[in-house]
Amino acid sequence: MADITVTNWFGNIVSHPQVVVDANSVEDIIAVVKDTVHYPSPVRAVGSNHSTSPCGTADGGTLIRMKMDQLLSIGPETLVAQAGATHLHMAKALREKGYQFYVNTEIGSLTAGSAACAGTKDASFEGEYGQVGSYIIGVKMVLANGSLLEVTEAAQPDLMKIVRSSYGLLGVVYEVTYKIRPLVPMAVHHTTYSLADFLKELPSLQASGYSMMYYMFPFADKITVEFRKYNPSATGEANCTAWAIRNHIWGTSGPKFGHDIEQNIAIPSIRYGIVDAFNASWRLTLENIVSSDYTHAPDQIIDYPPVSDDHRYTFSLFAFREENFPAAITDFYKFCNDYYQQKGYRSNLLYVGYRIAADQQSLLSYSYHGTVMTLDPVSTANPGWDEYLTAYNQFCSDRDGVPLFNQTANLTPAIMKKAVGDRLQVLGETRKKYDPDDRLLNQFFKPFLV
């Protein structure tokens, strides 16, 4: 059994558990955590395994693959689902009944269990949060000793905040309750700016009431901003084509193009000239086609295949306080160009970012101290990617960026501790209370929490 190899969805994070178990019931999970002989530590549970860090690895231990994926109830205000249910599946079921998530995050294979205890990202709508877990109001877990625990926002708000950023270290989540809302029309449009013009307009854009995601092009000195806003007065038929085109380019044809160009064009100047031309066409598509007064937010969710192929991509993330972002993005554009000149490496895709509202619903929220905007490189992991991420991490940390345990690659304890301070100690102390024998603690988390 020691020869078992499990990778994350992208394929670049490798784990070697001794045992892999498919959990089809709560009893399956209880049996695993209580039997230390047949199921060695650490015990880690995963859904689609889409994380870009080793947070779900179980080297030498037991990996639980969550197969419990039933939707248990959909009411006017809540959805209750088993932990293995995916966001795409849940969103479709909600839509049939006239409801939607508050946060319709891009990765459709995100499971309820992961969303309940790990970080996510999506541009916030006015007056709303941008992290999926902030709208999860209840979880049921199997603790490390096999006992069951239910935590709700209403009864245990402080513990619920810790659970939302616990990454399976307090217990194995098996049931999740979401706060949901009625399905409502949503308008979307895109505008491209030079970086200087974007920064000039940024204060008015921040005050406009629009949700903002953005696509960054440091080598063209451009940024394309996606503006979204609920539009309940929209009439006629919803536009389903706009998001379908965006999803296909963003989730399939774009990464495939980057992969193939990397494989077939050896001369960097030619290769990246072609990438830049593709990105220019991408900007035109966003501006002219992904634009409508009437779309639905769930249509943004992308249906990624269970097993990745040469259409896959990976990414990383750091968030910056909104007031510090103009300096951070200006430096970032220069950093990307300088790194390419000095090291010969640049991403073969693009860079994205999100504006995310201040949010203290989870202990390790990256917008804990105020609204943030992110700088997220995206790549097919072309040669030089890992080395670039090490430099990127230091660049971001030097500017007080805040990472995520599951979406920031090559993260170090020093960077994380600088970013979240004493909150990391609170997680460590709470984890120890619920798992004194380190049954659920893997090698990735040990340097951060012990």
- Strand, helix or coil for residue 54: helix
Structure confidence by residue, pLDDT tens digits, 336-385: 999 999 999 999 999 999 999 999 999 999 999 999 999 999 999 999 99
The tokens describing 386, both together, are: 């890992």
Residue percentage of the chain with pLDDT more than 90? 99
Please give the domain boundaries of the chain with CATH numbers for all domains: 6-66 (3.30.43.10), 71-183+422-435 (3.30.465.10), 185-415 (3.40.462.10)
* pLDDT-based confidence at residue 450 (cuts at 50, 70, 90): confident
pLDDT score, position 1: 46
Strands 185-194, 314-315: pairing kind? unpaired
* pLDDT-based confidence at residue 3 (cuts at 50, 70, 90): confident
* pLDDT at residue 2 greater than cutoff 80: no
Average pLDDT, the chain: 97
Which residues are paired to 63 by β-bridges? Answer: 20, 44
d(CA 120, CA 42): 24
Q: What is the model's pTM?
A: 0.96
Q: Give the pLDDT mean for 381-403.
A: 98
- The answer to whether 409 and 361 are in contact (CB under 8 A) is no
* pLDDT at residue 283 greater than cutoff 90: yes
Q: Give the pLDDT mean for 410-416.
A: 97
Numbers of helices and strands, H then E, in the chain: 13, 19
d(CA 100, CA 290): 21
